[in-house]
Every structure is written in C-alpha cells, then in structure tokens.
Structure 1
Amino acid sequence: MSRPTARIAGLLRQTRHQIVLPLQLRGPFPRRAALASACALVACMAQAQAVRHALDLPAAPLERSLNELARLTGVQVLFASSLTQGRNAPALRGSFSAQEALDRLLQGTGLSARPQGGQAFTVEPASPAAAAGAGAALPEIRVTADAGRENPLGPPVRFAATRSATATKSDTPLLEVPQTVNVVTAREIDAQGAQNLGQTLRYTAGVLSETFGATSQFDIYTQVRGFRPDLYLDGVQLPYGAAGSGFASAVVDPYVLERVEVLKGPSSGLYGQSGPGGIVNMVSKRPTETPQREIELQAGSFGRKQVAADLSGPLNAEGTLRYRLVALAREAGTQVDFVDNDRRLIAPSITWQPDARTSFTLQAYHQTERNAHTLFNYLPIQGTLRPNINGRLPFERYAGEPDFDRLSRDQSWLGYSFEHRFSDTVSFRQNMRAARTEFEGRAITILQTGGLLPDQRTLRRTAANTAANASTFSIDNQLALRFDTGSVRHDALIGIDHRREIGDFDFGRRAAPSLDVYAPVYGQPIVDPGFNLSNTTSRLEQTGLYFQDQMRLGGWIATLGLRHDDAKTRTVNRRASTATQQSDSKTTGRIGLGYLFDNGIAPYVSYATSFQPVSGSSFGGVPFQPTTGKQVEAGLKYQPASGIGLFTASAFELTEQNRVTPDLANTGFNVQTGEVRVRGLELEAKTELIPGLNLTAAYAWLHHRITRSNTPSEVGARLYGTPDHQGSLWLDYELQRGALAGLGLSAGVRRIGATFDASNLYRMPAYTLVDIGLRYDLGRASPSLRGARLSLTASNLADRYYISTCNTTSGCTLGNRRTVIASLSYQW
C-alpha cells in the first residue's frame, strides 16, 4: 500500500467510531432511474407546472428577479440580455407555479415565457412589435440556472463573484451580507500567478499577506484588519497545531482551489472560537457536471519546474456520479540559496447525486513537501533595514547550514459534504473532515540575544530543532428552514458542530558556530540539540450550538445570529510530567440590518462578537479567560443590475479585550488587562469596465493602537506588522476582435505602508510593487491548437528590495524579489 493510501486509510480507522453518517436514502436506485426514463416530456412539463413555490420577491430590475426566481424554484430561465435591459419587475408574493411566477414578473414588459419542456423556459418577445422594442439583433442567449445564477462553490458567472456561502453558511448574495466579504476567484489567482495563499490575497483590501517574506513555508502568517485569521477549507477549520504555535498548521496549494473568501470581523457567531479580525475560507474544486480536463506545464525563476492536472466530469451516462482529480508535482528553488520549494499533491473527489434533492461529495487530499531547509531565514537588522559598513545583504543570502537544515511536511485529510432537501423549505447539510499534519524542521538561525558582532559581519547563530503534528476531527450539522411569519420571509439555520484537535510539539535549541554573513563558508560541524526544551501534548475539544435567521421584509434584510460554545483544553508537559486543564464557555453572535434598493445599492450596519481561549493562569492560579472581540461596522455595497461588478465600502471599529499583559506586581506572571482597538475604512471595487477589461481596486486605512496595557510604553503603540495605509490596482484586458483576439494583458500595482515591530522600535519602510501578466489563446491562431494557452506572469517586476518584517530578537526577513513564471496549458 502506498504511503498516501495508507495515510487516508489510517484516517478512516481513526474516525470509524465517530463519523455521523448522513441520512439513509431509501428506495432502490434502479426503480428511480426507470421512472425517470419513462417520464414523458408532457408529463414532466405538467409536473413543472403543478409544483408551487412560496415566493417573496421585492420589486427589482427584471434580470435580477428572473435570476432570483430561477434560484428559488430550480428551473432554467433562458433569455437574451437585451430583452431585460431597462425593464423592471413588480413585487411578487404568494404561492405560484414557475409559469405563473414568470407570467407575473413579465406582465407589462412585452415579453412572455414559453415552456421548453421539463424545467426550462425561454423568455421572448410576446409580439413582433415587442421584439422591435427590445432590439432587432439579439446576442447569445444565456442559461440562468447555469450561467445566470452563480454557484457559491464554483466559478463566478462574470468577473466579480456576487454570491458566497462563507458569510452565512448558506447560498447568499453578497449584497445581503451585513459584513465585508472579499472573494478571490480561480480566474484571478491564475491571472496573477499566485503560488500560495498569501499571494492570492495580495490585491485584497485590509489583508496583509506574505508577512514573513519569501522563504516562509506557512499560510497562517496573514493579517486581516491587524489580526491573524483562522483558516478554513470548505467551511471546516484546518489543523492549526496549537501546541506548537502553528508549526503543524495546514498549507493548501491554490491550484486545488475554486475561490478564496475573506469574512472580515468577528465570526464566532457562526464558526466558534476565532480571532477578531475574521476568517479565510478556501473553497476547493469539486466534480463538475460537464467534462473539463486540463494539463499545465510551468517553468520559471529559480529553476522552477511544475506539472499539474485537473480532470473532471461524469462517470455514468445519467450524470449521477461525477469525479474530479487534481494533482501537482513541483521542483523549484527560491530566491535564497539552498532553499527549495518542492511539493507533491493529489486531491481526488467524487460526487453522488441520485436526484435533484440529494448530493454527497467525498473529498481526499494528500500533500508532501521536502527540501525547504529553513523556517524564515532571518537576517541581521544591520545590512537589511539599517546600514552596515560592509554593505547591504543580498536577496539570496542564506544564514543557515545546508548540510544541517531540513524541513519536511506531510498532510492528509478525508471528508465529505452531504445535503438533502426534504422540500423547498427544509434541507439538511453535514460536513465532516478528519485531517493530520506532520512537520519536522531543523534550522540554524540568528541568535535571539544578539545578532552581529562589532565587526558587523560575524553572525552569532543558534541551532533549533522542531517536530510538531496535529490530528483533527470536525463535523458540522446544519438544518436550513424557510418559512413566513406574516409578511416576513425567514431563512433560518440551526446547527451543531464539534471539533477535536490533538497535537504534539517537541522543541530544542543549543549554540551553533558563527558565520561570516558577507562571505559565508558553510559546512561547519553542528551538534543536533534534540528536543531539550519542550515536549508538549495538547488536546482541544469544542462543541457549539448556533442559530441564524435572515429575515426579509420588502427591501429590508435583517440578520440575527447566536451561538454558544463549550471548549476544553488539556495540555500535558511530558518533560515536566505536569498537566493543566481549562474549560471555557462563551456565547457570541451577530446582528445586522440592511436595505436593498431597486437600483442595486445596499447600505448596512452590523455588530458582531468573538472569543478565543487563552492558555495559562495568573499569579494566583486563576485560569485566563478567553480573549474577546467586538466590532461595529457600517457599509455600503453596490451591484449593477447587469451583475457585472461589486463595489464595497465599509467603516468599522474593532476591539480586542482580555489581552495578556505583564503582571507588574509579580515578575514572570501575566494578567488580562490588555486591550487593542482598530478603526478603519476599506474600499474595494471589482467590475468589468468594458467587454474584456476587468478592474480590481482596493484601499484600506487602519488606525490601530494598544489602548490598555500594564506596560506604560505599550499604550498608544501600533500593532506589529500592520500598515496604516494599503492600496492596490489590477487591470486585466483581453482583446475581443481583430488579428490579436485572444491576447490578454494584465498589470497591477501594490502599495504597502510602513509597519513597525512589536516594540515599535523599528520602522519598516513603505514599498510599491508592480506585477504584470501576458497570455494568449493559441486556438485563435490555429484551430489545431484549440484549447492550448500560453501565459507569462512577473511579480515585483522592478526587482524592488524591501523588508517584509523585523523584530528585535530575530532580525529581518526580505520580501519576494522578481519572479517570472511561464505556463503552457491545454484544455479539452
């Protein structure tokens, strides 16, 4: 048995007594298949006409109302864009068949809906005169159920995503979410050449990614509104490795993702314990109804070589069984000598959908990484941030020992997503994942008590050894209800979830030989420190019960969420033979109110809270309480009736309390009197300016200060590594006609403001980076090359030297230098 297969089998054994199986589906499949195949066209049409739906649609532009009707009823509505342009639909409330609802929406528009059989209708002019009024030339007809209605788990219909399942754990238009949500799609990831999670978020307002520079091997070091977010995949939290401060955290390659979504602000009301800045939810690629296959070859800077494949489609003629297989293999260096970025991954998934109401998707993932050699490659402050008499240290300088250093990571998970709709008003969903990550890192790093000797070239170093692992089991059960109370329409969600994480962390350190960092000679003998400082095992269990109600009355939309969590943590110090246990219980929530105008403008206000357990105790032995977060946010969203863009503006005040701060009366102990406040403004625009020209623009202003601390010098200090100002602009244009049709050009600029270290002693200067991209559809040049595409991306085009972060103990890390990647892909 291969190692990946054995690992996944081990996960199955690990959880075989814990997995809650989805509801049993009764009735033999052959009988349903025979019944479906025997259903005549007229009978299907009659069934579509007979089914009635409880509808409550406000007056809105006709195109939006048709899209919403298709979403609510599950029928396909085919129409030409020019027919709906400039037309409005009346409010619709009551119980209607699909045909009746369409007739009401189209009344007085000069249009009519003609059944196409089964679950499809075509909107067309009711008479020749109406056709003339709508325009004589009709563009390509669009299928609303597939192209007109966006799947929040798939690619958007247009450039900008308009729906999300992250903010409410249900399919919700972003206009109706009373909180800021940023969505980065696979299309943007590909165009910008992003190679890790941090790079996918480069053009997102209020998010600072790649905080530890080019050699960081972790996804968790991302900041949202000044705080580190928790990472989720398909709505389920990924392993973190709390015992090892994140060394065992999971890393996901962007090639397996459909989109990345950032939910800003406290999110505990839905997701349980989390930081106040928000969460990042990655949405993985899933099996598709239609075949799609891609093979991609890459080559680029620092000896990069990569091959990837993405295969998907139905497994049987009925389309009830579908698969997807994503795989990648990479061998690559980095800008730092001796530091590689090799990776192998495979991500198979299979979907079983026996009928329109039931779906079960099984997903697996296995990834290995080798030869990274270092954790962060800290360099001394003199020679990077500050001047050095010997000059500036180059991008490629390596401060470790190539024969001693090593880094390896293995991660695997197995999970499923199940959904069954009992009716149009009641459905049940269940998401489960069992995961394990294993990390080993051995590195020579800068000595924390002092870096360079007086000659400003001899670097004092230390040898560190780290081993960490984390095993998690998570399950989330959701009951979705749709009902009316008088004139109010409710979309309610009742859920209960459970998460368990068990992790080990071993760490050791000892002195290592010094290095002339300006003329390094590697190969000095190093003694392995073993694990002489820490041997820790931790166990976290959390169970949460939550409720959410999205209420609609005309254009008003109110969102109310409430959640109660019980969390238990047990930490065993195997070295000292001691154990500590802590129990926390907390109730959090979210309340929001918005109004959706007919012109697509949606103002909103919201209040949300969060909590996060803290290990340790005070001088008196009293366990620390969880840190708490609260946020007030007011914003304005706008989506044109055409659905071609989304514009968001938000202002907020975010406060974190119960921060640990030194106990001045008892040296070596802490108390929870610290507080941080962040006030900010965020702007984001994603839209199609003209056919083929897409725009992404973002700006964030953050005023962040420590407002309470037992250390007087900290009061008024800025948060570590958080800029006051941050902005970006990305333009992508593809020629639509002419000899160069199919040629795409893109360019972006990113401006990151100045940041400070934790002590506010060192200021990292602001920097501006330029990125470009070029692609060409080779099929436009020759029909024999149809499906082939050539692309080129370059980040930090000017090869700007900049500092990503510094601190007083470890030194500084350098940002990513110019990186060029060429890709050749073939789709069929």
Structure 2
Amino acid sequence: MNRWHLVLGGAIAGALLVSTSPQEVNAEDGEPQGRGSKQEATSPIPRRKELPHSAKTVREWLAQVREAEVQNSVRVLDVRVTPTGNELEITLETENGKPLLIDATQFRTEGNSLVADIPNAVLALPDGQEFSTDNPTEGITSVRVTQINPSNIRVTVTGNNALPTQEVTLRTGDLVYSLKPEGDAPDEEIVVTGERQRGYFVPDATTGSRTDTPIRDLPFSVQVVPLELLQDRQVQRVNEALRTIAGVTPGQSSQSAFEEYTIRGFSSGFSGGNILRNGLRDATNTSGIALPNIEQIEVLKGPAGALFSQGSPGGTVNIITKKPLANARYSLEGLIGNFDTYRGSLDFTGPLNDAKTLLYRLTAGAYSSGTFIDFFDRRNYAIAPVLTWQIGEATKLTFEGEYTISQQPNDRGLPAKGTVLPNVNGTLPRNRFIGEPDDQLDKNDRYALRLGYTLEHQFSPDLKLRNTFRATRLRTPQNSLFPQALLDDERTLERELVVADDQFQDNYTLDTNIVGTFKTGTIAHKVLFGVDLNRNIYGGRGIQFALSPIDLFNPVYNQSEKTLIAEFPSEPITSDLLGIYLQDQIDLLPNLKLLLGGRFDIVSQKIDFADGSESFQQDEAFSPRIGLVYQPTDWLSFYASYSRSFLQNVGSTFERTLFKPERGTQYEVGVKADWLNRKLSTTLAFYQITRSNVLTSDPANPNFSIQTGEQRSRGIELDIAGEILPGWKIAGGYAYTNARITADTTFEVGNRLNNVPEHAFSLWTTYEVQTGSLKGIGGGLGLFYVGQREGDLGNTFQIPGYVRTDLSLFYRRDNLRIGLNIENLLDARYFEASESDLRVFYGAPFTVKGTISYSF
C-alpha cells in the first residue's frame, strides 16, 4: 500500500468511525447522552414552536453554525508527549475513546514548524489551559496544542531554526499520523503523511507581511502563481504567468524586453519598484528574469508602501527564486515549438556533505525563438547557482548568484490606423515589422549579473534576525528604433533611432529586519522591525538620429539612412533610499486579528551633468497601513484594510516649486474562504484606490507640469485557486475595474485609464487521471477574456476585447512528464495592449509547444 493510499484510507476510516458513533439526545433538556443512556430510540415528534428558529441574519446563522460545531465536537481530555529514540509521539486522549476526524493531507509546514489542524475537537484538559511543553527533545523547541476557534484545535511542533529532523507522529486511538512532510510509515500501523501535494493552492506567502503568515490571516488580497501552474501552462514570461490573477492584465507586448502590466487599473511602469525578488526592490527587475529559477510568483494587490517603499498603487509582484533542497534531485527539460522555438533547462540540487549542512542548487536554461513578427528573433540564457550553509542549529547563510543574457530587437507595435482603426490603404498584417533587420540599427541586448546573500539567525523560538544584500550589474547596449509620426497618406511612417552603446544600471540593496513574537496578557503579537538601504545608478551616452521613413504596406529594409539630430553626454542619475518599517500583527482573540504597520522613507535623486554641475532633490514620506481580520470559522475570513503608497516625482513647476511625491490610497474589504478541506481558496475583494499628486501639463506654461492630476480606480475581484476534486485543479478569476481620471488639466475628467478593461475573466483548469491504466494522463483548458480598453488617456480610440483559448495535453508518470501546449487554439486576431496611437500591439497567433522533462 503506497503513501497516498494510506492518506486516503486514513481519512475515510476516520470519517466512517465518526459517523458510526452518533450522540443520542435527551428529549427533556437537549443534552447529549453517552453510550449508557437509557433514552429510547423513538421520541415524541417536536412541535414547530419547539424547534430552533431559523436564522434571519448572518450573525444568527454564524452563531447557530458555531453552536452546532461545538455540540458535535469531540472532547480531548489529555495530551501526552513521548520521546522514543529518534521519534516523538504526541497522543491525544479523547472522551470515551471517540475518534478524531483528521485529514492529514492538510498537514503543513509554516517556517520551522509542523502544523496539524484538527476539526470538530475541543480541548478539555484538567487544568483548563492549552497544552504546551518546551524542549521535549534535542532539535525541537516546543510542542503546542491550542484551541484556535470554538470547534478546532491546532498541534504545532517547532524545530530549532529548522523543521524537526526526527520523526514526529500524532496518535489518536489506533490511528497514527506522521506530521513530517517526508515521514515513512512505521511498521504495522496506519500512517498518514503530511507531504505537500502538487497543486495550485498555496496557503502561505511572505509578500503580504514579510513574515510567515497564512494568506487567510492577512487583511489584503494576496495571490500566488505556484511552480506547477507555471509548468502546466509553459509560460515564457512573467506577464503571461500573471494572466490567471484577477485584475492583472498585460501593459506591454509579449515580445517586449520589459515586464509591464496593470494591476487594479494602474501600470507597474519601468521603475522596477513593483517587481521584487525575494522581497527586495531593484530597479533592474523589469527585465532579465530567469524563468528556470522561479519557484513561485506572489502578488500583493493594492499599495505596498508600508512594506516595500516606492511603487505604483495597483499592486506588487514578488518573484520567489528556487532554494537548495536537502535531498538530491536532478531535473532536465526540453521544449520545441513553432516559430523555430527551442528551449533547454536543468535544475540540480542536493547536499554537498554527509551532514547536509552544505546544500547547493544550480538552475540554467537557454531559449531561442523566432516570433510571428518578421525579422524578430529572441535569445535568452540564464544560469543561477545557490549555496546554503547551515552554520549551526540557529544560523543559516545562503549565497545566490544569477547571470542572464537577453538579445532581441525592440517591439514598437504598429499604428492604430490599420490595426484597430480604419486605414485607407487596408489592414496591416500582424507580422509587419517597422524596424530594421540589421541589429546595428535595432537591438535591445541586456546582460544582468546579480550576486547576494541572506543571513538568518534564530536567537530563540520567538526572535529571528534576517539580513539580506544584493548587488546587480546591468549592461544594456541598445539601438532603440521607434515611430515618430504617421503621415497623411496613412502608410508612410517616420522613424527615429537612439543609440546607447554604453547604457548601464547598477543597483545595491541591503535589508535587515527582526521578527519577534510575544504576549501582553492574552493578546499575542508578531512584531516586524526593519531598515533597508537602496542605491541605483543609471547612465549612458545617447545619440539621436532620424531614419528613412518606411512604407507600412510595402516595406523595403536595409536601405535606411541615418541623419544626426543630437548627441547626449553620459550624465549619471543616482537614486538613494533609506527606509525604516515597523509592523505588529496582533491576535486580539483567536478569531480576531489586527495588523498595524508603517514605513518612513527618505528618497533622493542626484543628476551629475556633463558641465560639472548637479541637480539634487530629496523627499520624505510616511506610508501607513491598517487591517482587521475576523474569522468566524477556521476556513472563513472577513477583512478590511487601509493602505498607502508613494512615488517620488523629480522636478519642479514653472515657479521652481519642487514636486511632492505621488501618493496612492486604498480602502479594501473582502472575504476569503478555504473550501473542500482547504484545497480550494477563494478571495472576493471590493476596493477603491485614489492616485493623487499626478503630474499634468501646466495650462499657463505648456513646457512645465503642475500637480493637480488625480486618478481613481474602483473594482470588484474574485480569485480562485486549488483543487476541486482529486486531479481536478483550477486557477482564475473575474475583475470589474472602473479606472478613471478624476482631476487633470490635459485630459478630460471622467476619461478611462488606458489599457484597463472594465471586465476581465480568466480560467485555467486541468484534470489528471489518478488511478488505473490511464493514470497520469491529463489535459488542460484556458480561457482568457479581456474586455474593450482605451488606447490612450485622451480616449481617442479603443482596443477591442478578445477571448483567447489555450489547450494542453500531458502525461505524467513517476519522474517523466510529456506535454503539448497550444496558445490561441482558435487563432483569434486580438490586441494585447497599446501605448499610443503609434504603438498598438498584436497578440500572438496559434502557437504550439511540446515539452519533455525527466527527474532523477
């Protein structure tokens, strides 16, 4: 009998045992009777007025649900912790030996703790207190059994700075469950392991709080794209990976060298502040992302200034990279597709010594592809070594490196006339290229080297220090060709070229924080305090040329002539940031949680001009956030929150008044639910974000700006991810977004923000046969609907909505996976995004990719 049969058998056996021991009810006082009750099976039929009245409000319904849960709960009268050799056994003694209903597939790890939640159980210990014992064995600092709500208890086993290394079992009656994620079955006993299964539901994420906190306990919408979903969809970009997150839509072409998107109506921009790597901001993160090195992608919706400093108010994306594992594993993958697409990658990990105190991981990949656009080829290469040193039981040091190369032309799209608008000459084909095949005239090469470390030290079970540093060196020799104007004949496109051969960007980030847990009376606190520093230096010489125009309907390439317009000397821009942040997660009651946080930032920017002079500006900003979570049951959370963000605006008005930082303010309420034994997660959110201090043209002095601009986004979002039935997984959501200009001197108040659909829907679902001769065969279906959007802030033209259909077929058995992925199955003609009336981006046509991967 294999492990998963034991899991299923144990869960079914527990359910059957509970269902065959019903409580009998005394007709006079309604109290439950034990097995020795003399109450007859037949009782007078109660009259209607004697029955409990139906709930007329949500409060009454929840009260009745809680009362029923408590009445049907099994009482735990004693807890015993017994160490034997290399094993620790936790025994739960129940009243009359009644069995507990345990679904061990929901056992999980949180930081350095093993956690098991047990429903329909009430602690009834002799002293009336929750159970706890410290240091029962070497390597385990504590065992806790607590009442997390009126009808559920939690068993928590905490290791010393790491997960316990010895076997930890939970015994109730004749059933024994292993809490260890990779525990082996003891002889002649039914053992259920808590190994995390593959799936789309991820219960924990660090992005929402910078601490190990379950998503259901956070007063914000946090969504996760796990590794399995990335593999099932075979995405090649972060933008594409985010399509299953409600409220996130592409802001750029899929062929762009940059990752840009809109969240809740607001663009992420190119500053890099809205894309983090392992919680660290870095202005270079918008490009050169190594997909083979991604473990999962986390999305915090709404302003995140209280945690991560500057950024757009729409949301923040955090890329979690892969870390070394204690057990050796080697994976190889190959891909081939149309448009001459080829990709190969490897992922090796394991220990470097017998004590497993030195672990490594190496990921690498190479990707080469043509595209549906003429003369547009892409090449990407990446290698990422990681080394973890467990210095002692309480101290761990991880070194990380990553080097990426990206080579391609610039995708500048096509004019609106001839794509989304009529053109007297006809319709432009989606394969039309407005650049030049010669890479000396059009290229965007990016070479990024990232090096850093993370040092973690556990002073005690309640106090942990984390220190992280990363340095990035980005070199981007670029010939940037772009459209300048479409002439009256609607076919002649004027073009310009900017050559920046020595363009560079260096970024340095240092973050130190400490997390401590303590109690003030009965109120529990988890406090985060941190300081971070960031420096970003950007520069490069530029030469501007006018290029020969191109006939969009009859292009002739490799005959362009350059005419010098201007030269720009290298004038480096240095941006510095100092941030201090503080957060307290407070458990007011077992089912009532309060989050208070704030961050103070000092940001500055200095420009060193070629004549020896300089320009300097410094701003300060405080970004607070507050949230409340109420959990009537352990699977349901109601929340409300307030949060702010900021972004430095460099420059001054005509009167030489410095600009204030742009601010974002959000109010959000919502509900989260973990259904189907915590295998399916849903989040329903209602929000309003106001973006203020937006720069807009000065009506009296058109060459200057003033700060009267304001934009507002209101919306509703529904996210869903997880497993509906064994083998049937789902990820997707729906978003209604009403994003408009509310104050401006250039654009009309009431205009919609560009690239923001009012309605968007996504669905990705797969099914894999679980048993029998067809086990491992599966398929997936994706539907992505993006509604009509405005093409620019002036609302002068619209981008039509579209539905894209994707399909996958795969076979997975043991260590082998073979897959076939088709994007745009019906070959729909659609448009991904728009920057202006000269830059509208077609979506890719029918695309097919075949993959094969093997692990050993």
TM over 0.5: yes
Equivalent pair of 2:175/2:190 in contact (CA under 8 Å):
no
Q: Which residue of 1 aligns with 2:139?
A: none
Q: Which residue of 2 aligns with 1:442?
A: 479
The question of 1:617 aligning with 2:652 is answered: yes
> What is the alpha-carbon distance in structure 2 between the residues aligned to residue 812 and residue 644 of structure 1?
40
Q: 1:461 aligns with which of 466, 473, 495?
A: 495
The question of 1:159 aligning with 2:203 is answered: no
Between Structure 1 and Structure 2, the one with more strand by share is 2
Q: 1:773 aligns with which of 808, 811, 816?
A: 808
Q: CA 1:577 to 1:251, structure 2 compared with 1: closer, same or farther past 3 Å?
A: same
Equivalent pair of 2:119/2:153 in contact (CA under 8 Å):
no
Equivalent pair of 1:62/1:105 in contact (CA under 8 Å):
no
> What is the alpha-carbon distance in structure 2 between the residues aligned to residue 475 and residue 738 of structure 1?
53
Q: CA 1:827 to 1:65, structure 2 compared with 1: closer, same or farther past 3 Å?
A: closer
The question of 1:121 aligning with 2:140 is answered: no
Q: Which residue of 2 aligns with 1:290?
A: 327
Q: Which residue of 2 aligns with 1:280?
A: 317
CA deviation profile, 1:721-757 (whole Å, cap 9, x unmatched): 1111111111110011233211120001011011111
CA deviation profile, 1:368-409 (whole Å, cap 9, x unmatched): 122x12x22321222211123433222211111112222211
CA deviation profile, 1:5-47 (whole Å, cap 9, x unmatched): xxxxxxxxxxxxxxxxxxxxxxxxxxxxxxxxxxxx857769x
Q: Which residue of 1 aligns with 2:624?
A: 589
The alpha carbon displacement at 1:818 in A equals 2.1
Q: 1:170 aligns with which of 211, 214, 228?
A: 211
CA deviation profile, 1:181-219 (whole Å, cap 9, x unmatched): 11001110111111011011011111112x322321111
* Bigger Cα displacement from structure 2, 736-745 vs 493-502: 736-745
Counterpart code for 1:806: S
Q: CA 1:44 to 1:730, structure 2 compared with 1: closer, same or farther past 3 Å?
A: closer
CA deviation profile, 1:251-270 (whole Å, cap 9, x unmatched): 31322101001111111111
Counterpart code for 1:196: R
Structure 1 residues 122-201: aligned runs within 5 Å = 122-127=169-174, 141-144=191-194, 147=195, 158-201=199-242
> What is the alpha-carbon distance in structure 2 between the residues aligned to residue 746 and residue 571 of structure 1?
52
The question of 1:679 aligning with 2:714 is answered: yes
Q: Which residue of 1 aligns with 2:277?
A: 233
Q: Which residue of 2 aligns with 1:748?
A: 782
Structure 1 residues 119-518: aligned runs within 5 Å = 119-127=166-174, 141-144=191-194, 147=195, 158-209=199-250, 211-228=251-268, 230-240=274-284, 249-370=286-407, 372-373=408-409, 375-403=410-438, 404-447=441-484, 450-454=485-489, 456-467=490-501, 468-518=503-553
Counterpart code for 2:827: D
Q: Which residue of 1 aligns with 2:591?
A: 555
Q: CA 1:129 to 1:715, structure 2 compared with 1: closer, same or farther past 3 Å?
A: closer
Equivalent pair of 1:683/1:699 in contact (CA under 8 Å):
yes
SS of 1:623 mapped into structure 2: coil
CA deviation profile, 1:389-430 (whole Å, cap 9, x unmatched): 433222211111112222211001101111111111111011
Equivalent pair of 2:313/2:664 in contact (CA under 8 Å):
yes
Equivalent pair of 2:130/2:146 in contact (CA under 8 Å):
no
Q: CA 1:571 to 1:688, structure 2 compared with 1: closer, same or farther past 3 Å?
A: same
> What is the alpha-carbon distance in structure 2 between the residues aligned to residue 728 and residue 458 of structure 1?
38
Equivalent pair of 2:111/2:212 in contact (CA under 8 Å):
no
The alpha carbon displacement at 1:487 in A equals 0.9
Equivalent pair of 1:451/1:461 in contact (CA under 8 Å):
no
CA deviation profile, 1:744-802 (whole Å, cap 9, x unmatched): 2000101101111121101111111011111112x4xxxxxx52221111111112111
Q: CA 1:291 to 1:42, structure 2 compared with 1: closer, same or farther past 3 Å?
A: same
Equivalent pair of 1:352/1:359 in contact (CA under 8 Å):
yes
SS of 1:597 mapped into structure 2: strand
Equivalent pair of 1:324/1:349 in contact (CA under 8 Å):
yes
The question of 1:815 aligning with 2:854 is answered: no
> What is the alpha-carbon distance in structure 2 between the residues aligned to residue 733 and residue 677 of structure 1?
40
Counterpart code for 1:231: I
Equivalent pair of 2:780/2:809 in contact (CA under 8 Å):
yes
The question of 1:603 aligning with 2:603 is answered: no
* Larger Rg, first or second structure (1 or 2): 2
Q: CA 1:110 to 1:685, structure 2 compared with 1: closer, same or farther past 3 Å?
A: closer
Q: CA 1:684 to 1:128, structure 2 compared with 1: closer, same or farther past 3 Å?
A: closer
- The number of residues matched between the two structures is 733
> What is the alpha-carbon distance in structure 1 between the residues aligned to residue 755 and residue 368 of structure 2?
31
The runs of 5 or more residues in structure 2 that have no matched partner are: 1-82, 91-99, 137-141, 159-163, 178-187
RMSD of Structure 2 on Structure 1 (CA) = 3.3
Q: CA 1:167 to 1:129, structure 2 compared with 1: closer, same or farther past 3 Å?
A: closer
SS of 1:201 mapped into structure 2: helix
Counterpart code for 1:635: G
The runs of 5 or more residues in structure 1 that have no matched partner are: 1-40, 50-59, 131-137, 149-155, 241-247, 780-785
> What is the alpha-carbon distance in structure 2 between the residues aligned to residue 361 and residue 477 of structure 1?
15
Equivalent pair of 2:601/2:621 in contact (CA under 8 Å):
yes
TM-score, normalised relative to structure 1: 0.83
Q: Which residue of 1 aligns with 2:799?
A: 764
CA deviation profile, 1:262-315 (whole Å, cap 9, x unmatched): 111111111112221121100001101111211111111210111110101111
> What is the alpha-carbon distance in structure 2 between the residues aligned to residue 687 and residue 180 of structure 1?
16
Q: CA 1:570 to 1:142, structure 2 compared with 1: closer, same or farther past 3 Å?
A: farther
SS of 2:473 mapped into structure 1: strand
Q: CA 1:139 to 1:593, structure 2 compared with 1: closer, same or farther past 3 Å?
A: farther
Pick 1 or 2: higher relative contact order, CA cutoff 8 A, min separation 6: 1
Q: 2:822 aligns with which of 794, 800, 807?
A: 794
SS of 1:182 mapped into structure 2: strand
TM-score, normalised relative to structure 2: 0.80
Counterpart code for 2:309: G
Q: Which residue of 2 aligns with 1:660?
A: 695
> What is the alpha-carbon distance in structure 1 between the residues aligned to residue 327 and residue 247 of structure 2?
37
The alpha carbon displacement at 1:625 in A equals 0.9
The alpha carbon displacement at 1:523 in A equals 1.3
> What is the alpha-carbon distance in structure 1 between the residues aligned to residue 156 and residue 640 of structure 2?
39
Alignment identity in percent? 29
Counterpart code for 1:441: Q
> What is the alpha-carbon distance in structure 1 between the residues aligned to residue 292 and residue 681 of structure 2?
25
> What is the alpha-carbon distance in structure 2 between the residues aligned to residue 280 and residue 790 of structure 1?
30
